[in-house]
Amino acid sequence: MDMRLGILGTGMVGKTLAARLAGLENEVMVGTRDPAETLSRNEPDTYGNPPFSVWQEEHPEVRLGTLAEAAGHGEMVVNATAGAVSLGALELAGEENLSGKVLMDVSNPLDFSKGMPPTLSVSNTDSLGEQIQRRFPQARVVKTLHTMNAYLMVDPAQLASADHTVFVCSDDAEAKAIVTDLLRSFGWADIIDLGDITTARGTEMMLPVWLRLFGALQKPLFNFKIVR
Amino acid sequence: MDMRLGILGTGMVGKTLAARLAGLENEVMVGTRDPAETLSRNEPDTYGNPPFSVWQEEHPEVRLGTLAEAAGHGEMVVNATAGAVSLGALELAGEENLSGKVLMDVSNPLDFSKGMPPTLSVSNTDSLGEQIQRRFPQARVVKTLHTMNAYLMVDPAQLASADHTVFVCSDDAEAKAIVTDLLRSFGWADIIDLGDITTARGTEMMLPVWLRLFGALQKPLFNFKIVR
């Protein structure tokens, strides 16, 4: 690969994707609402992960910018923000910075307001992937990778020699092909094209069972394999 | 096995479970709203399957009765009715015929009224499994098997030597153990206990991606394996 990527979100998913994509010789900029604020944090996050500034010292090749700067930098943009704030973050990234670009959406519409495990803020008759595609019709939205833990997203061979499945959902066949190439660069072998972006209803609705499996198995490194 | 089973529903799922359970030396009665009407049909159903009377000639060991007769017959009762009519069918089966018994719920709350693929009539913050358990608090509801095609339910070894997964969800640990034994008699090896009946939200919400996979793969003989 040798692509400019803008990754929106400085959480675990954004950082994990940024580090992996930079390691694959891509030019990566991570975008956040307020870079100065993000850099000023010096406490671990709520999951005990070190603050962004510590992470960035270990990944000096990854630049940090605003959401708009990161989206503008990318030939491809990745939405790695929390689902509850994704539409707002993409507004700040700017429609003009998304237009015509592949927008890889790895977010989940998790709603933590009703207790644990979280419910979905949109499901069944709509999906976050579709909401993003409707709001940004010029972006080439591809829903993918959101059905597993971040470490597996970027390195599926950590588990069962990558003998498990990732899905791609998009209205744009060429965008799916570009994302599929990127997934292969991560080590993915079993990539199922489910169809248009409405199929994201199906993949986003896998999260509730993922959350229960996390509870039952007591570890995050598992994934769905579609045996066929 | 040597158990009396009452199976509610004469569709593909009910018939497939009935034939398999009878073949395993259980005493099986299938229940339907109006047995005379069910037997009088002489046209294939909407999926092209032969009418019940033709099927029953091939399975003379399976008795047919009303929903209440079948539920009364069973030491264990199986809800194999369409999700949209399950609560009504269980009312007809009769609370007294379900009380204290394991009620294996293999139904899916599919709503075909909004076009294809169907949506779910309940999801996210509730599930059909929970609705059934709430309405029949004396039944020992175990949600299972509903995440795959009927032929795989009863004979998982048809696919990949049964190297794929079935889930059980129930508030009743002993009922789960009984159902787990029954699943093993079908050939299931990978049985995941997800927890209480609220975890049926997770498994029922797998149906939307199942339906899209059915579309993408163009065959019904596939299943989820939880690789871990």
pLDDT tens digits along B74-126: 999 999 999 999 999 999 999 999 999 999 999 999 999 989 999 999 999 99
pTM, entire model: 0.97
pLDDT in the model for residue A1: 67
- At B25, is the pLDDT very low, low, confident or very high (cuts 50, 70, 90)? very high
Residues of A within an 8 Å Cβ radius of B: 114, 119-120, 123-125, 159-160, 163-164, 167, 192-195, 199, 201-203, 205-206, 208-213, 215-217, 219, 221-228
Of A114, A117, A175, the C-alpha closest to A144 is A175
CA B219/CA B207 separation, integer angstroms: 15
Inspect the interface and report whether the beta carbons of A228 and B215 lie closer than 8 Å: no
**Res. B42: pLDDT tops 90:** no
- Contact residues, chain B, for A203 at CB < 8 Å: 209
- Contact residues, chain B, for A166 at CB < 8 Å: none
CA A133/CA A172 separation, integer angstroms: 11
In angstroms, the separation between the Cα of residue B146 and the nearest Cα of chain A is 14
For residue A100, give the amino acid letter: G
Residue B108: count of CB within 10 angstroms of its CB = 22
| CA dihedral (B111, B114, B118, B121) positive or negative | negative
With residues binned 3-state (H G I as helix, E B as strand, rest as coil), the percentages for chain A, rounded to 5, are: 45, 20, 35
CA A26/CA A3 separation, integer angstroms: 5
Inspect the interface and report whether the beta carbons of B194 and A213 lie closer than 8 Å: yes
Rg of the Cα atoms in chain B: 16
CA B20/CA A224 separation, integer angstroms: 28
- At B1, is the pLDDT very low, low, confident or very high (cuts 50, 70, 90)? low
ipTM field: 0.97
Structure tokens at B86: 């399950």
In angstroms, the separation between the Cα of residue A136 and the nearest Cα of chain B is 24
Provide the percentage of residues in chain B whose pLDDT is more than 70. Answer: 100
Task: Report the DSSP beta bridge partners of residue A192.
Answer: A167
Cβ-proximal residues to A144 (8 Å cutoff; 6+ apart), any chain: A104, A105, A106, A166, A167, A168, A169, A179, A183
Q: Which residue of A has its CA nearest to B110?
A: A124
- Contact residues, chain B, for A123 at CB < 8 Å: 123-124, 205
Inspect the interface and report whether the beta carbons of A227 and B202 lie closer than 8 Å: no
pLDDT in the model for residue B113: 93
pLDDT in tens, chain A (228 residues): 689 999 999 999 999 999 999 999 999 999 999 999 999 998 888 888 889 999 999 999 999 999 999 999 999 999 999 999 999 999 999 999 999 999 999 999 999 998 999 999 999 999 999 999 999 999 999 999 999 999 999 999 999 999 999 999 999 999 999 999 999 999 999 999 999 999 999 999 999 999 999 999 999 999 999 999
What is the residue-averaged pLDDT of chain B?
A: 97
Inspect the interface and report whether the beta carbons of A163 and B227 lie closer than 8 Å: yes
- Contact residues, chain B, for A119 at CB < 8 Å: 124-125
Of B125, B216, B221, the CB nearest to A192: B216
